[in-house]
Amino acid sequence: MGLLTNILLSPFLGPVWASKWTLDKVDRVVREELTDDTPIKEDLMKLQMELEMGEIDDAEYVKREAEIMRRLREVRDWREQYGMSIGGGPVRVAGENETE
Amino acid sequence: MTAESAIAAATEAASSEGKYVYCIIRHDRSREFGEIGIGSGARVYTVNHNDLAAVVSDTPIVIYDPTRENVLAHEFVNETVMREFTLIPMSFGTVFRSEKDVQTLLKSTYQAFTDVLDKMQDKIEFGLKILWDRDKVVAAIERENDEIRRLKDEITRNAASSTYFARMQLGRLVEAAMEEASNRYVTDIHEQLKDVSVASRSNKVIGDRMILNAAFLVDRKDEKPFDEKVKAISLQYEDLLTFKYTGPWPPYNFVNIKLKLEKAT
């Protein structure tokens, strides 16, 4: 019965499933994009390297570092919104609530 | 507004006093390290539990951005502590709410910290980044590789008539030879440093000129031999490679304790 219903109704149900699945996927991709700080940290390391190699001067470094920090904070905000862990900020040993 | 107060303003709970933790050492008394902490020279001291101590400074409860200024402050404290102690470095930006929470950390992770401190006793880390100058390496390859030299001569001689295919072929050969050369250099350098180091770890290279981004764990007594070896190798490759040699560092790349930490609200 279930299968038959699906087949019979498939022209109707099909596209709904498809679009829901697609939206979930888009949502996931967007979320990963918004909450991933790996490329930002790589940019920071590259910037550091450029300074060390004397390819950029201090002023340039400071300017670009500020931009990278802005991006890091943005990712941190998104991670908080999605309830994900963030590097930094107050921590305690998991499961022990001695402060309370 | 200073950077510090900007961070503080951006964080809601900036009022209470937290503890910024730099590293864990073995020491059974309290100890002062001077006013060298993160956030314009905070006093650095220890929080103790039995024979373990966390090196900390007072801090508002904030998230520290990994700016050069902040990272250098964190590293400077660890360098200072390192002159006298074997240490387990904490990740940059680790803040606990209270002294009691830091003691809980020491208590609950006592065994793991002790084991790692034993293992890291008198070990230090050196960083070695190696970059190459593409043009010089290509020139060296052309000198060594007959096939590439011949193909290149041919293309140069018949500039007008040389085919797209021949150029592609040359490009491919040069790419392959460069990859081979990079592997050869890296293997040789690792091989030469093997006897003067305890362990090594290769990290992801940064940018397109880097061929090696490695960390070496070295016994303090081998510091000088290691140093001399690196100098000798950099002389050997002087014409082709640029060496970025840093350290001694705390064993950042060789301590892997997964602390079970959660966000303190």
**pLDDT tens for each residue of B218-239:** 999 999 999 999 999 999 999 8
Residue B228 structural domain: 125-249
Whether residues B130 and B160 share a domain: the answer is: yes
To the nearest 10°, the Cα dihedral for B10, B16, B22, B26?
-170
Q: CB–CB of B65/B7 below 8 Å?
A: yes
Q: Identify the residue whose tokens are 């060594």.
A: B144
Contact (CB<8Å) A88/B95: yes
Which range among A32-36, A58-62, B233-237 shows the weakest confidence by mean pLDDT?
A32-36
Residues B196 and B132 in one domain: yes
Q: How many domains does chain A have?
A: 1
Closest Cα in chain B to A41: B66
**In the 8-state DSSP scheme, what is residue A72?**
H
Contact B261 A94 (CB under 8 A): yes
pLDDT of residue A98: 44
Distance CA B74, CA B67 (A): 11
Per-residue confidence (pLDDT) for residue B227, from 0 to 100:
96
Residue B64: which of A42, A88, A98 has the nearest Cβ?
A88
E strand residue ranges, chain A: 89-93
Nearest-angstrom CA–CA distance, B56 and B51: 16
Closest by CA to B23, choosing from B49, B47, B51, B58, is B47
Distance CA B214, CA B226 (A): 14
- pLDDT per position as a tens digit, B17-44: 899 999 999 999 999 999 999 988 999 9
Q: Is there a contact between B63 and A98 if contact means CB atoms under 8 Å apart? A: no
Q: What is the pLDDT of residue A65?
A: 96
Q: Which residues of A touch B105 (CB under 8 A)?
A: 92-93
Q: Write out the residue range of the structural domain in which residue A57 sits.
A: 37-83
Residue B257 lies in a domain: no
What is the pLDDT at residue B54?
Answer: 97
B35 and B113, same domain (yes or no): yes
The answer to whether ipTM exceeds 0.95 is no
**C-beta atoms of B101 and A88 within 8 A:** no
pTM of the model: 0.79
CB-based contact B198:B235 (threshold 8 Å):
no
A98 touches chain B (CB under 8 A): yes
Is residue B182 a contact partner of residue B132, using CB atoms and an 8 Å limit?
A: yes
Give how many domains chain B has, as a whole number: 2
Q: Cα-flanking dihedrals φ and ψ of residue B236, to 5°?
A: -60, -35
Task: Spell out, as residue ranges, where chain B has pLDDT lower than 70.
Answer: 1-16, 159-162, 265
Interchain pair B94, A91: CB under 8 A: yes
